[in-house]
Structures are given as structure tokens and as C-alpha cells.
């Protein structure tokens, strides 16, 4: 436990009550504060009695009055106020196991922490949850949870996760659904493992847990060239993607008939691999798994088209620019540039799809493009002196690519200004037209 107070916000309830930096928060209302979930749950009420311990070991009681739900204004040594739970699985499809050696150590850590699922949207497998952990989630009504299910067949799940708890941990999923905990489920589709009839069963089983299971996303497995010594896997190709989309569409039709909602969606990457048109906004029913790459392109185009309605016809062209993205997204981005060119005929923009030599060309998404590949493939191939990049290429929106190259390195080596952009159609339009620089 790390509930030592490291910061107190000015004019916050904590400051007004006289709490001190360096004190340790022990209890609230007599209940022990073990981690961030206890802290957020037990400090929700407008009247609180806290027990804290000073650096000298002396304990005291502090009374606090505040608005219901108002944060106390405290920060602690760690965000979780506890050690982060690591993953105990050996998933056959684990992307981290496919990383090359020599990258910074933080990239090799696998989290499987239910608290981060609720607070930050991370996905968990539930294999390291005890019955006590699950009961606490239910008791606190923690929702939503993001759960990596992959298959509802216990034996297959045990095998896919490489963990003897893989199948038995499905009991937590059933308990959460029965208790009304909201769930966003994920299925990483691996040809020859959980596709075909197994996928039909999984999607049907999860759909039957509606309304607790609010959404199910099916994403294609990512395979790098660094799989030496790992379980052989087949990448999702055009045929496999089309077959999976057919299964997804059949389950969607059944769900729409039964529940008046589709529940199940395919990730954007699945449509790109299938070489099929991207669905429109209605397909995604509110974009419930946007952070999981489900509906990003559809929403982006919707935002761009909306922003273009505000632009005048025949406007003056901005300076030339280059857009760099993953190979999968390049045709889509070319089409987006074409939409802008309809309003601005003189637009000079070039889209360059970056081959992923670092991870292997089977990895074609923008979020895994490295700075080194950008440098090699853009040098001498640029249009103008502006380079626009999706911000997902940078780790956690920080100023570094996966291989520790920085945008400043690109600017110095390529002689351009580099502009990492949020995945937003309006932001993209402003950047292209130089309305935000």
C-alpha cells in the first residue's frame, strides 16, 4: 500500500480540513484504504471521517465536509496506491512477447489489473482475480470493465491464454454479468484457434449476456517478425477477415432482432484486411470501443465532413505537406485528402504509407510505426516542409516513438516541421489548412 500523501490541491476539501503532505491515509469511515478503488469509493460521500498517520507514527482523526462525489484533492506516491498487477498469462497471441530485444524496459511490462480496466480502459483477462476481488468489484458496482474474452470455451481459453485459470476465470464474467456490471468485451481473432464455429459460439454467448455486456469488439491478431520460439500463428488475410465479418454480421442481425441493438462490431483493421468499405457511423452504435480501434475511421470521416461544411469553396491553398501513416490506413487518408481538395483544388498533399520494417510488414497499423522507419522511408520522398503524423505513433502521447526516436530527430534529419495530430477530422482539417499553426 502506498497511501502516503504527496500533494494537496489548493483550496481543496483536503487542504481545508488540514491534511498534511507526508501523512498516510489509513481509513475512511473505519474502512481500510488499500488502493485507489477504496479511496474513490469510500470518499464519495459528503461527510467523511478519515484516519491518518503522521511521519512520526502518530495517528489522528480528520473530519471533512464536501460536495457528494467531489474529489478530496489528494495525490499519492503512486496512482494505484498499490503495486500494479502484472499478467500471469502466456497468451499465444501476446504482442509483447513478439517485441525484439533491446527496447526500453517499460514496454515489456504486461498489466492485467482490474483497477486500470475501470479507471483507464485497459483490458483484463480476469485470470489473476480472486473471488474476493470479484466480489469487491460487484459490491462497489465498478463499471464498465474492459475484458479480453477471446473465447467462451473454457478449454480453448485455457490453451489460448497459456494459463490454467483461463477457463475457470470465466466464472467471474458470468458473475459480473449477473450482477449488472457493464462490460466491454474483446476477442482477438486468431485463424485456426477461435474463428469459425468457435467465434460463432463466443459471440452468441457474449450477446446472451446483454445488457451487461454492452459491446463486443473483434480485432485481428497482430503478428510481428520476432516470433522465434513462439506458437505458430497464421495472420488474418483477406479471406479470413471476410469470413469473420460474415460471422459478425450474422450475430449482429440476430442481436438487432432480439435486442434492437447489434452489440458486436469488427475493428477497423478487420475491414481494411478484408478490402471492404468501412461501415458508416450507425454501425458503431455510439462508438463504445473507440479506444480499441473500433470506428476510428468512420468517426474521423464524419468529423472531417462536418468541418468541411464550414469551409468556403475555392479557398487559397496552404503550403505543401506530407502525411505519414501505416500502410493499412494510407488509402483511407488519400481519400480524406481528396475530400479536402474538393473545397481547395490547389491543395498539394502527399500520403505515404510506411512499411513496418521494424516489426515486419504483417504489422501495418499506424500506432506501431517507428521513428527509424519514418526516417528511412521519408528521406528524399517528402512533399513540402510540413510532416503530419497521427499522435498514436508516439508512446502514450509522449514525445518519443517506440524505438526512442523523437519528433525532434525527424525534424533535424528530414528538415521539416513535424506535427503529431489527434485522431480527429476537425483537427486534421485545421492542420492541413494551416489554421492551427
Cis peptide before 365 (omega within 30 of 0): no
Cβ-based neighbours of 150, under 8 Å, separated by 6 or more:
157, 160, 161, 186, 187, 188, 194, 202
Pairing of strands 321-326, 386-390: parallel
pLDDT tens-digit map of 168-197:
999 999 999 999 999 999 999 999 999 999
Backbone angles phi, psi at 121, to 5 degrees: 85, 10
User: What's the pLDDT at 118?
Assistant: 65
pLDDT tens-digit map of 306-360:
999 988 887 788 999 999 999 999 999 999 999 999 999 999 999 999 999 999 9
Residue 82 — very low, low, confident or very high, per pLDDT cuts 50/70/90? confident
Residue 3 — very low, low, confident or very high, per pLDDT cuts 50/70/90? confident
Q: In the predicted model, what is the mean pLDDT of the chain?
A: 91
Mean of pLDDT values over 108-133: 77
User: What's the pLDDT at 428?
Assistant: 97
User: What's the pLDDT at 78?
Assistant: 82
User: Judging by beta carbons within 10 Å of its beta carbon (0-12, 13-18, 19+), is residue 50 exposed, middle or buried?
Assistant: buried
User: What's the pLDDT at 315?
Assistant: 77
User: What's the pLDDT at 385?
Assistant: 94
Is residue 79 pLDDT above 80, yes or no? no
Q: Model pTM?
A: 0.85
Backbone angles phi, psi at 403, to 5 degrees: -95, 15
% of the chain exceeding 70 in pLDDT: 95
pLDDT tens-digit map of 87-109:
888 899 988 788 777 777 666 66
Is residue 228 pLDDT above 90, yes or no? no
User: What's the pLDDT at 102?
Assistant: 74
| Contact yes or no for 398/391 (Cβ under 8 A) | no
Domains, the chain, ranges and CATH? 5-76 (2.30.42.60), 96-293 (3.80.30.10), 301-432 (no CATH)
Q: Is the dihedral of CA 33, 34, 40, 44 positive or negative?
A: negative
User: What's the pLDDT at 108?
Assistant: 60
Q: CA-CA distances (angstroms) from residue 53 to 21, 71, 78, 255, 258?
A: 11, 20, 18, 54, 55
pLDDT-wise least confident of 102-106, 122-126, 141-145, 326-330: 102-106
| Contact yes or no for 251/264 (Cβ under 8 A) | yes
Is residue 214 pLDDT above 90, yes or no? yes
- Rg (Cα) of the chain, in Å, rounded? 24
Residues in the chain: 437
User: What's the pLDDT at 293?
Assistant: 84
pLDDT tens-digit map of 258-300:
999 999 999 999 999 999 999 999 999 999 999 888 999 999 9
d(CA 93, CA 107): 16
d(CA 436, CA 203): 44
Amino acid at each position: 500500500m502506498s497511501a502516503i500523501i504527496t500533494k494537496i490541491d489548493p483550496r481543496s476539501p483536503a487542504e481545508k480540513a488540514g491534511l498534511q503532505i507526508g501523512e498516510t491515509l489509513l481509513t475512511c469511515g473505519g474502512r481500510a484504504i488499500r488502493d485507489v478503488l477504496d479511496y474513490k469509493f469510500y470518499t464519495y460521500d459528503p461527510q467523511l471521517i478519515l484516519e491518518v498517520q503522521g511521519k512520526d507514527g502518530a495517528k489522528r482523526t480528520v473530519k471533512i465536509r464536501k460536495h457528494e462525489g467531489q474529489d478530496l484533492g489528494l495525490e499519492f506516491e503512486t496512482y494505484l496506491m498499490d503495486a500494479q498487477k502484472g499478467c500471469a498469462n502466456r497468451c499465444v497471441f501476446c504482442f509483447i512477447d513478439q517485441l525484439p530485444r533491446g527496447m526500453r524496459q517499460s514496454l515489456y511490462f504486461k498489466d492485467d489489473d482490474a483497477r486500470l480496466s475501470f479507471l483507464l480502459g485497459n483490458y483484463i483477462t480476469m485470470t489473476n482475480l480472486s473471488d474476493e476481488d470479484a466480489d469487491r468489484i460487484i459490491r462497489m458496482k465498478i463499471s464498465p470493465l474492459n475484458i479480453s474474452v477471446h473465447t467462451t470455451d473454457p478449454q480453448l481459453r485455457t490453451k489460448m491464454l497459456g494459463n490454467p485459470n483461463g477457463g475457470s476465470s470465466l466464472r467471474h464474467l458470468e458473475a459480473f454479468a449477473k450482477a449488472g456490471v457493464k462490460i466491454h468485451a474483446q476477442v482477438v481473432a486468431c485463424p485456426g484457434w477461435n474463428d469459425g464455429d468457435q467465434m460463432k459460439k463466443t459471440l452468441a454467448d457474449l450477446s446472451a449476456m446483454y445488457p451487461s455486456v454492452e459491446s463486443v469488439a473483434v480485432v485481428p491478431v497482430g503478428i510481428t517478425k520476432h516470433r522465434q520460439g513462439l506458437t505458430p500463428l497464421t495472420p488474418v488475410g483477406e479471406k479470413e477477415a471476410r469470413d469473420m465479418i460474415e460471422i459478425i454480421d450474422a450475430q449482429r442481425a440476430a442481436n438487432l432482432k432480439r435486442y434492437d441493438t447489434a452489440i458486436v462490431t469488427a475493428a477497423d483493421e478487420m475491414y481494411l484486411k478484408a478490402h471492404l468499405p468501412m461501415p458508416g457511423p450507425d454501425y458503431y452504435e455510439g462508438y463504445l470501443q473507440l479506444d480499441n480501434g473500433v470506428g476510428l475511421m468512420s468517426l474521423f470521416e464524419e468529423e472531417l465532413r462536418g468541418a468541411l461544411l464550414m469551409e468556403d469553396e475555392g479557398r487559397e491553398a496552404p503550403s505543401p505537406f506530407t502525411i505519414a501513416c501505416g500502410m493499412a490506413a494510407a488509402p483511407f487518408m488519400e481519400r480524406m485528402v481528396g475530400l479536402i481538395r474538393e473545397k481547395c483544388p490547389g491543395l498539394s498533399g502527399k500520403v505515404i504509407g510506411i512499411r513496418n520494417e521494424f516489426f515486419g510488414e504483417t504489422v501495418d497499423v499506424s500506432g506501431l510505426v517507428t521513428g527509424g522507419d519514418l526516417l528511412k522511408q521519408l528521406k528524399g520522398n517528402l512533399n513540402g516542409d510540413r510532416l503530419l503524423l497521427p499522435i498514436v505513433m508516439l508512446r502514450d502521447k509522449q514525445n518519443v516513438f517506440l524505438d526512442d526516436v523523437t519528433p525532434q530527430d525527424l525534424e533535424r534529419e528530414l528538415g521539416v516541421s513535424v506535427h503529431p495530430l489527434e485522431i480527429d477530422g476537425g483537427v486534421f482539417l485545421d492542420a492541413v489548412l494551416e489554421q492551427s499553426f
